[in-house]
Amino acid sequence: MRFELTKDFLEKLRQAIVEENNNWIIEHIHELHFADIADLLDQLSNEEAKYVYFQLTPDEQADVLMELEEEIRDRFLKSLSSKEIADQLENLDSDDAADILGELSDDKIQEVISQMDDDEAAEDIVELLNYDEDTAGGLMQKEFIQAKLDWSVSRCLVELRRQGEEVENVYTIYVVDDLNKLVGLLSLKKLIFADTAMHIRDLYQKKNIISAKTSDSSEDVANRMYKYDLVSIPVVDLQNKLVGRITIDDIVDIIKEEADKDFQMASGISDRIESSSSVWHISRARLPWLLIGMLGGIFAANVIAGFTNEISHIPTLALFIPLITAMGGNVGVQSSAIVVQALAKGNDHFDHFKKKIIKETFVGLLNGVFLASIIYGIALFFGNSTLGFVVSISLFVVIVFAGLFGTIIPLILNRYKIDPALATGPFVTTLNDVLGLFIYFTVGALLYNL
Amino acid sequence: MRFELTKDFLEKLRQAIVEENNNWIIEHIHELHFADIADLLDQLSNEEAKYVYFQLTPDEQADVLMELEEEIRDRFLKSLSSKEIADQLENLDSDDAADILGELSDDKIQEVISQMDDDEAAEDIVELLNYDEDTAGGLMQKEFIQAKLDWSVSRCLVELRRQGEEVENVYTIYVVDDLNKLVGLLSLKKLIFADTAMHIRDLYQKKNIISAKTSDSSEDVANRMYKYDLVSIPVVDLQNKLVGRITIDDIVDIIKEEADKDFQMASGISDRIESSSSVWHISRARLPWLLIGMLGGIFAANVIAGFTNEISHIPTLALFIPLITAMGGNVGVQSSAIVVQALAKGNDHFDHFKKKIIKETFVGLLNGVFLASIIYGIALFFGNSTLGFVVSISLFVVIVFAGLFGTIIPLILNRYKIDPALATGPFVTTLNDVLGLFIYFTVGALLYNL
């Protein structure tokens, strides 16, 4: 039942494009779901994709366009004339149309808008372009169903039919007063089974209405929809007037993007990149943290330089430098990952600061004792008890401190409204490298009485 | 409009519980959204939470129960009698009821089931308990709306009213044939506006029906719903008979969990933990990777031990051990993070293996040249050109190789069906430590002619 994209199919399609065998293309493509068609076009050259795209019906074109990969869609749109883009926009939901326009230059946007035939749609899009793309206003669409408090059920059904034409998925009807202020919700199910003589004011739900303000951040809206299990959320302006709605599919995108962003940030990548991004773009996104890491390495060299005397006396001290730095880094990353996740979930009603630190101290003590004992055991086995003692004592101290730093740094960053995921990356690792070496050599100097 | 949980409110609530001031509790709690009530109960002791919980209406109880944090819900349920649990289950959706039962012991499950009054609900739950919780069968609920092909619109509306009573959110009506096999979909909107004399067979959508099999993995179902922008998906058995549906709220949970799991795995945490997990649980989840990291450190010590001769001649060689290992680790984590994300998205229709490696080589060369030049410049400034040359040459080689390992290892793991996120953690870091040191000291030995 589901389509599997094969090399074979792709070759046949390319052949059909070369031969301009439109019958073959239409017959084989129309069967597919638009998300599969988009996957297919992602694999073609721009010229090939364009050829296939214009064999689709306008509705199919709109659906496929929004499913293309972003870089491929941008390239595709750049190869279209303003009039062609305007035609595409008229079949899209207003939020999608605004997203696509937002990628173009200001001049081009004006040109495209002026070429649109549907003035109302053009107005909606222009309004949406005013909002920052990371806010509820930037996410919302102008297509939604609203009912007035004093409408009867039968009037509402008539209006629903009229409004419903351009709204693809009707989840909930938003109820507004005479001033267009949001006052409640009405489920489609409830409307259908109501007596047609009843009025909306007798049916609608007015308690616990969750809405978003146009200026709310998209992350905020995503968390709210997630927390309250919403499939769509009404968006209101500063006067509480209903201006749009956001549907769950856009929110799922944001949840995925947020998770990707955190994962990348924790991995030391400073700009959002895809595996399809250019070599240049990937290099640049990775450089900042590598530079910080290198700075950390130079710091670490300075720390060790302070102990060259000890190293020249006991050269074997140098052997465990990587063990100490690696363990400090690992523990730091582990503990900060847990804090970052808890913060991302907003599990922080009250001041858990102290509680987290106490817990991390216990975890550090437990793991520290365990691992330090193992390394001491190994050293005894090889008959080097002094070095073993130095390594195990300092490993223990490093594990406890690295865990504490890994916990405290994201908490501090979060308090100053800096994304705590930053901390999980080379930041904590680098800091723990320097700290770990200092502890290690200090303990070494003390125990060897140097 | 939204509720903000304050310490003050919590204290007043506790006071009301002590005074058994039920009027205060009911008045202040009933106003709240169930997700907020759950947040509130999460903050109370088990006895306090129980007291408030039983002031709620049965419907509110069901909603609140599913929003509690898992550990708190488990503790809460354990303090209830079998009869009390059975009463709670009857108000829950079948999938939620099965999830809750699944947490209990087999004996307890039987006891609870036998105490349920609604036989049909009990049967549904027992059926759902048969499925693995990580499959579509384990996720689905038995509450959905179905219509037969030969029904008229008016008959369908009557049935809808009957079936609809226990289905909370109606997104789509599933259309089945006489054998109960899924043949298509019908939107509620289309049904409402259809001529009542028409039949379902004239109205329903039969093309591009996306469904899930009971045995499909939940990750698979999540990807499918995400790809095809679905709000609900019908679940069929091996004979294509309709047996349930999965709604988007469950999928959002899975997407979040998957992202969390990958983030934790990449951070070297081997078992799913929350910041609320016990010290013991957190320690155990973190130990495996720390042991591997320690093993890596011992390996690294062995590598360095092979070069003690060089270190005793040129002790300053030891200074840059942390720089080399840190940079190898950072580059490895960065490159594997990109591959892991691309793999998680399933962006791998064909064999991109070679392409990814070539790209990573170029990124490595670019960043390697840049960073190696900087470090050489710094060394020249401090007048130590030989050591600078050793560090910069080996840094360059380490960056290129670390990037390649970071790219290749997750690809190989993925090919052998091992979660590639494993690679991003201490695995790549540890490997790159050892490799980097070997390169560094070999280059050092060569250039110093030792």
Give residue-wise pLDDT tens across range B74-88: 889 888 999 999 988
Q: Using a CB-CB distance cutoff of 8 angstroms, which residues of chain A are in contact with residue B231?
A: 169, 171, 231, 248-249
Chain B residues within 8 A of A226 when measuring between CB atoms? 252, 256
Optimal mutation site among A162, A190, A262, A323, interface B, most CBs of chain B within 10 A: A323
Q: Is B282 in contact with A359 (Cβ distance < 8 A)? A: yes
Q: For B172, what's the count of Cα atoms within 13 Å in the CB-facing half-sphere?
A: 24
Query: Rounded to the nearest 5 degrees, what angle is found at the Cα of A150, between the Cα atoms of A144 and A154?
Result: 70
Are B347 and A275 a contacting pair at CB < 8 A?
yes
Which residue shows structure tokens 């691309």? B342
Q: Which of A137-141, A181-185, A275-279, A390-394 has the lowest mean pLDDT?
A: A275-279
Nearest Cα residue in chain B from A289: B330
For residues B87 and B79, what is the distance between their CA atoms, to the nearest angstrom?
Answer: 14
Q: Which pLDDT tens digit goes with each residue over A285-303?
A: 888 888 988 999 999 999 9
Closest Cα of chain B to A128: distance in Å? 22
pTM of the model: 0.78
Q: For tokens 């990573």, what's the residue? A: B360
Q: Looking at B9-124, which runs of residues are DSSP E strands?
A: none
Cβ pair B256:A255 closer than 8 A: yes
Distance from CA of A130 to the nearest CA of B (A): 26
Q: What is the pLDDT of residue A196?
A: 84
Q: CB–CB of B279 and A366 under 8 A?
A: yes
Mean pLDDT calculated for residue range A340-365: 76
* Backbone dihedral angles phi then psi of residue A312, each to the nearest 5 degrees: -70, -30
Of A161, A170, A318, the CB nearest to B311: A318
Residue A308's closest CA among B445, B317, B444? B317
The percent of residues in chain B predicted with pLDDT above 70, rounded, is 96
Residue B51 in this model has a pLDDT that exceeds 50:
yes
- Interchain CB distance below 8 Å, A192 and B192: yes
Nearest to A322 among B43, B297, B356 (CB): B297
| Residue B131 pLDDT class (50, 70, 90 cuts) | very high
Q: Are B117 and B216 in contact (CB under 8 A)?
A: no
CB-CB under 8 Å, B170 with A188: yes
Give A-chain residues touching B437 at CB under 8 angstroms.
322
- Residue A65 has which token pair? 């366009």
Looking at per-residue pLDDT, the higher value among A263 and B61 belongs to: B61
- Nearest residue in B to A370, CA atom: B287
Instruction: Check A293 against B208: CB less than 8 A apart.
Output: no
Mean pLDDT of B341-368: 78
* Inter-chain residue contact A308 with B287, CB threshold 8 Å: no
CA distance A86 to A116: 5
Is B279's CB within 8 Å of A363's CB? Answer: yes
Nearest CB among B330, B378, B433 relative to A326 is that of B433
Confidence of residue A348 (pLDDT cuts 50, 70, 90): low
Quote the minimal CA–CA distance from B19 to chain A in Å: 25
pLDDT band per the 50, 70, 90 thresholds, residue A59: confident
> What's the pLDDT band for A97 if we cut at 50, 70, 90?
very high
Per-residue confidence band for B359, with pLDDT thresholds at 50, 70 and 90 = confident
What's the one-letter identity of residue A383? G
Would the CB atoms of A333 and B2 count as touching at under 8 Å?
A: no
Percent of chain A with pLDDT over 70: 96
Question: Chain A residues with CB inside 8 Å of B320's CB?
Answer: 297, 301
Supply the pLDDT for residue B313.
84
Q: Which of A193, A225, A279 should we substitute to test contact with B (largest number of B Cβ atoms within 10 Å)?
A: A279
Residue pair B288/B408 in contact (Cβ under 8 Å)? The answer is: no
| Range from A24-28, A278-282, B276-280 carrying the lowest mean pLDDT | B276-280
The sheet carrying B146-148 orders its strands as: B146-148, B172-176, B182-187
For residue A326, give the nearest of B160, B252, B325 by CB distance.
Answer: B325
Q: What residues of A are in contact with residue B318 (Cβ under 8 Å)?
A: 304, 308, 311, 318, 321
Helix axis angle for A119-129 and A94-102, nearest 10°, is 60
Mean pLDDT value of segment A58-76: 87
Are B267 and A337 within 8 A, CB to CB?
yes
Contact between chains at B189 and A207 (C-beta distance less than 8 A):
no
In order of A336, A349, B9, B21, B37, the CA distances from B14 in angstroms are 34, 17, 9, 10, 14
pLDDT-derived band at B400 (thresholds 50, 70, 90) equals: very high
CA separation, residue A29 to residues A5, A21, A44, B336 (Å): 12, 12, 14, 36
User: pLDDT band for position A350 (50/70/90)?
Assistant: very low
Question: Is B35–A228 a contact, with Cβ atoms under 8 angstroms apart?
Answer: yes
Cα angle A81, A87, A88 (rounded to 5 degrees) comes to 95
- From chain A, the residues in CB contact with B211 under 8 A are 1
pLDDT at B381: 84
Cα B360 to chain centroid distance, Å, stands at: 28
Q: CB B367 to CB A283 under 8 A?
A: yes
What is the reported pLDDT for A208? 86
CB A175 within 8 A of CB A184: yes
DSSP class of B175? E
Name residue A55's amino acid.
Q
In chain B, which residues have their Cβ closer than 8 Å to the Cβ of A249? 229, 231
Q: Is the pLDDT of residue B380 over 90?
A: no
- Average pLDDT of the residues of chain B: 87
**Residue of chain B whose Cα is closest to the Cα of A372:** B294
Given a contact cutoff of 8 angstroms between Cβ atoms, the answer to whether A250 and A230 are in contact is no
Tell if the CB–CB gap between A283 and B5 is shorter than 8 Å: no
How many CB pairs (< 8 A) connect A and B? 334
Instruction: Over range A364-389, report the average pLDDT.
Output: 90
Which has the closest alpha carbon to B40: B6, B79, B75?
Answer: B6
Q: What's residue B289's pLDDT? A: 86
Structure tokens at B142: 């038995």
Tokens in use for A121? Answer: 């749609």
Q: What residue in B sits closest to A364 (Cα-Cα)?
A: B283
d(CA A217, CA A153): 36
Alpha carbon distance A322, A318 (integer Å): 9
- Residue A149: φ, ψ to 5°: -55, -40
Residues of A in contact with B3 (CB under 8 A): none
Q: Which domains does chain A have, with CATH numbers?
A: 7-135 (1.25.60.10), 146-248 (3.10.580.10), 279-447 (1.10.357.20)
A147, A186 in Cβ contact below 8 A? yes
Q: What is the pLDDT of residue A1?
A: 46
In whole angstroms, how far apart are CA A264 and each of A99, A282, B340?
A: 24, 12, 10
* pLDDT of B276 above 80: no
Q: What average pLDDT does the segment A314-335 reach?
A: 90
- In chain B, the residue whose alpha carbon lies closest to the alpha carbon of A253 is B226
Give B121→chain A minimum CA distance, Å: 22
Residue contact A291–B426, C-beta within 8 A:
no
- The pLDDT of residue B352 is above 70: no
Please give the backbone phi and psi of residue A271, each rounded to the nearest 5 degrees, phi first: -130, 145
The whole-chain average pLDDT of chain A stands at 87
CA B192 to CA A105: how far, in whole Å? 43
Residues in chain A with CB shorter than 8 Å from the CB of B160 are 192
- Cα distances (Å, whole numbers) of residue A300 to A181, A438, B185, B280, B300: 61, 9, 64, 33, 17
Query: What angle (nearest 5°) sits at the alpha carbon of residue A346, between those of residues B277 and B65?
Result: 65
Chain A interface, mutation test: which of B189, B324, B429, most A Cβ atoms within 10 Å? B189
Band (pLDDT 50/70/90 cuts) for residue A346 is low
The whole-number pLDDT of residue A347 equals 56
- Rama region for A449: left / alpha / beta (φ>0; ψ in -120 to 50; rest): left
Q: Highest mean pLDDT: which of A223-237, A347-361, B328-342, B417-431?
A: A223-237
CB contact under 8 A, A342 and B318: no
Reading the block at residue B48, the tokens are 């306090």
CA quadruple B302, B303, B304, B308: dihedral positive or negative? Answer: positive
Reference A38, options A93, A84, A76, A95; nearest CA is A76
Contacts of A425 in chain B (CB under 8 A): 333
Return the pLDDT at B19: 92
Of all residues in chain A, the one with the smallest CA distance to B158 is A193
Say if residue A304's pLDDT is above 70: yes
For the ranges B52-66, B343-357, B358-372, the lowest mean pLDDT is seen at B343-357
Q: What angle, rounded to 10 degrees, do the helices at A428-447 and B321-344 form?
A: 150
Task: Render pLDDT for B74-124 as a digit per residue (tens, 0 to 9).
Answer: 889 888 999 999 988 888 889 999 988 888 888 889 999 999 988 888 999
In this predicted model, what pLDDT tens digit does every residue of B183-213 receive, in sequence order? 999 988 888 888 888 999 999 998 889 999 9
User: Does ipTM surpass 0.85 in this model?
Assistant: no
Lateral strand order in the sheet of A232-236: A212-213, A232-236, A242-247
